[in-house]
Each structure stands twice: as C-alpha cells, then as structure tokens.
Amino acid sequence: MQRRTSLKLLGAAGAGIAGLVLADWKWQILDRLTHSGFFTYDQEQLLASLADTIIPAGVSGTAGTAPIGALSTGTDQFLIKFFEKCLEKEEQEILIQELKALEKRGFAALPKLEREAILGEYSKIENENQKKFYELIRANTIFGFTTVREVMVDHLGYQVAPGFYSGCVEVPAEKA
C-alpha cells in the first residue's frame, strides 16, 4: 500500500516540477514579447554577457558568501540604465550600432574564451567608433562593479568614515 502512495507523490512532484519549468519558459516568452525600454530585450542580454565577460563570477566574497561577478552585483542593470539616461545621443548611436554588430556575430551565445577574444580585438582596433564602444563598455562595467556594496564594503572592507565617534565621553581632569 505504501508503494502506491509513494508513486502518486513522486508523480505529483514530477508534474509540479514540469509545470514550474513550463511556467518559467512562458514568462521568458512573455518578457520578450512585452519588453519596453531604450534597448531591445536581445541588446540587454548582450550587455549582460559583455559585463559577464569583462568581470566574470569568481571573485570570492567574504567567508560564507558566494563568489561575486558583474551579473551577481547587478552591474548589467546599472549599464542599461546608465547608457539610457546618461550618455550623449551620439554615444548612444555608436553603442546601438556596435551592439547590433555583436548581435550578428552571435556574441551572447559564444563560449567565454571566444567572447574574450572578440573583446581583445576591440581593444586593439583602429576604428574610432569601435574603440569608443569598447572603452564605454569596459570603463562603465568596472565603475559599476567596483561601486556596489558587495564589493566596496563586503569584499574590500570600505568604511565611509573610518574610526569611531563617541559624542559624550568623560575626560579626566589633569592634576596640577
């Protein structure tokens, strides 16, 4: 009798897991279809893969914390907002143009070593637009990553005001 109950529970658990996978897949499609913003859904994914290529996960945090990288700290979301709100129009056009070129090369789907090689090509290229694109991506990814709390406080031990402040402290009187 216990076998039947166990098989029913295992079947229900399997169906539940399959349902969750299907629901997640459905939400991904829904996100792609209803996406709105300055960048397309694919361009945002490309910016995330660029950030992950420049600063991959693997820098270990403090004891007991997971390794951190550009994606785990939200640097990709910082880049999306920064490029949308803070860049000049001509820089945005260069960025979009180069993102489209990387999309055609299938950058986001490439293995890590090939993505690193492509970024290495960008660092040595003579074309001004491509050089500007590389510098924008590289500099702002590093800036976004190094200024988050997980890196500044938890990993590097940064303190806003080093030392301590004690407001009411008794001061011993000097004996004359």
Which residue, among 1, 74, 87, has the nearest Cα to 39 in the 3D structure? 87
11 vs 149: which has the higher pLDDT: 149
In this prediction, residue 149 carries a pLDDT of: 87
Q: Where are the domains of the chain?
A: 1-34, 36-155
- CA dihedral sign of residues 49, 51, 54, 55: negative
CA distance 48 to 121: 19
In this prediction, residue 156 carries a pLDDT of: 81
Which residue, among 147, 169, 174, has the nearest Cα to 158 in the 3D structure? 147
11 vs 31: which has the higher pLDDT: 11
């994606």: which residue's tokens? 71
CA distance 142 to 134: 12
In this prediction, residue 43 carries a pLDDT of: 93
Rounded mean pLDDT, 118-125: 91
Could you tell me the pTM of the whole model? 0.72
